[in-house]
Structure 1
Amino acid sequence: MNNKTVIDHREIAKILPHGYPFLLVDRVVHIDLDNNEIIGQKNVTVN
């Protein structure tokens, strides 16, 4: 699996009803609907 973005944060915001700060996915990097699997990433800062 590579880390190429499948769905970015703008598209996720259109799909999910959650807004900042509750939108806990920044991008989706893998979708496998046959196995009901989605892998997402959340960016975290150190402040």
Structure 2
Amino acid sequence: AWCHSDSMVAEKENLTLNNLVKCPKNIKIMAKNGLLEPLLSNLIE
């Protein structure tokens, strides 16, 4: 059986975040939901 390491999960999450950021509509939705600031701080770190 193949198990995920935390870093693999984190990388997958980063890919998902990057895909979200590439789409302006998603950015608007995230901003509306108050998710943009935490996202930006994640990208900056």
The answer to whether TM tops 0.5 is no
Higher relative contact order (CA 8 A, sep 6+): 1
Structure that is richer in helix per residue: 2
**Structure with bigger gyration radius:** 2
Q: Which TM-score applies when normalising by structure 1?
A: 0.23
Q: Which TM-score applies when normalising by structure 2?
A: 0.24
Structure that is richer in strand per residue: 1
